Amino acid sequence: MTTNNIATTSVSAGVLSIILIGDALIYVVLPVNAAEFGITLAWVGVLLSANRLIRIFTYGLIARLTDAIGLRQMTIISAMAGASSTILYGISDGGPILLFARIVWGLSFAAVSLTTLAYAVAERERAGARVGLSRAIQQIGPGLSLSAGAWLAGIIGPQAIFTVLGLLSLTAIPLALTLPAETEKPIPASRPWLPRPVCHDLLFFIVGFGVDGVFTMTITLILSGVVSIEAAMLSGGLLLALRRVVEFFCAPLGGILGDRFGVSLVLALSVVVLAVGFAVIGTGWAFTGAIFIIVARGVIAAVGPAAVALREDQKDTMHRLAVMQTWRDFGAAIGPLVSGFLFYELGATTLYYAIVPTLLAALVLMATDRRAPVS
């Protein structure tokens, strides 16, 4: 890895890390404080899905726009929008303003996540290690937010905390300005922005549904059934913060192992561990199962994008990363909707057990697929 690539990878990941602090905490604070924001639990599911739903329909367009204006310019714009959305969480009252804020966040995250991945895989050699480094840096801001932010939310209130975090997020803008300007921009390929999914995309859909959707939204609700709301909020925040800490270490390790033994093999093993975690939570061992899920998710965060990037020509990287992100977010968007409407009807056990065979089926399809991605 050259010094320049490490620097740009680190800076772009730092921008994303900072603007993620508001989005990370909203998954802990909003479900158990819905009334404070003037909304119902069903509204919570809609809001936690809205940012992902908007990304499903805009990733391809954002990828083309990024090709046109450059990675640096898109990262700067995303930093501004991301900080603004968090401030809106703190001053909003009711669903409509919160929905607007979530849409703004969805667009900004879609853009900066693509630019961050593009910086990390700009060179193919040791791409897994660089993606792992990028993912590790991205966890610092959300990890601090989920621990200290969840504690502070209980002191100053669930809305005031987002105003504070939004102001802190503004520091991402000067950091983005330090990124180097591109000497040349890639020429977008003349083809549809969303090709039909390959098996990798379907796997990321299930992972997004289970981890970023069902698990992230319901873990605090599961804990609130056995402890007080305050304790559940703090415990849920610490668990999700632990996910960030584990990913800080596991993503670089997963990237290194992927570069050495093959990213597809490491990805497959991680999915198996993920399935075990969902099964364990289904049996009632929430904390134990959460550890399995958190560790597996940390490794997948590095080897997943690397596996996609290494299958493509250099000029196709942004396009295929956009498709992968689209399908992952599609699953993550459906997850909170399912949880919001069916959690109390079906129970946590049914929801978590149902994810296990779905994950394993997607893994089998990926392992037996020998086709190159189709545009």
- pTM of the predicted structure, to 2 decimals: 0.73
Separation of alpha carbons 82 and 166, rounded Å: 8
- Nearest Cα to Cα of residue 268 among 165, 127, 362: 362
CA 53, distance to chain mean position in Å, is 13
Asked if the model's pLDDT at residue 360 lies above 70, the reply is: yes
Percent of the chain with pLDDT over 70: 86
Say what the pLDDT of residue 20 is: 93
Separation of alpha carbons 194 and 216, rounded Å: 27
Query: 41-46 long-range contacts, Cβ below 8 Å, gap at least 24?
Result: 41/340, 42/340, 42/341, 43/95, 44/217, 44/336, 44/340, 45/217, 45/336, 45/337, 45/339, 45/340, 45/341, 46/95, 46/99, 46/337, 46/340
Which range is least confidently modeled, 1-10, 96-105, 133-142, 295-304? 1-10
Mean pLDDT of the chain: 81
Asked if the model's pLDDT at residue 3 lies above 80, the reply is: no
Domains of the chain: 3-368 (1.20.1250.20)
Asked if the model's pLDDT at residue 372 lies above 50, the reply is: no
Average pLDDT over residues 40-49: 80
Say what the pLDDT of residue 64 is: 83
Asked if the model's pLDDT at residue 71 lies above 50, the reply is: yes
In Å, the largest CA–CA distance within the chain is 57
If pLDDT is split at 50, 70 and 90, which confidence band does 316 have?
A: low
Residues 231-268 pLDDT 10s: 777 777 777 777 777 877 888 888 888 778 888 888 88
Say what the pLDDT of residue 96 is: 85
Separation of alpha carbons 256 and 253, rounded Å: 5
Say what the pLDDT of residue 373 is: 42
CA 171, distance to chain mean position in Å, is 21
Which range is least confidently modeled, 49-58, 73-82, 277-286, 303-312? 303-312
Tell me the one-letter amino acid at 136.
A
Say what the pLDDT of residue 194 is: 52
Which range is least confidently modeled, 65-69, 85-89, 182-186? 182-186
Which range is least confidently modeled, 36-50, 146-160, 293-307, 313-327? 313-327
Separation of alpha carbons 163 and 29, rounded Å: 14
Asked if the model's pLDDT at residue 220 lies above 60, the reply is: yes
Say what the pLDDT of residue 273 is: 94
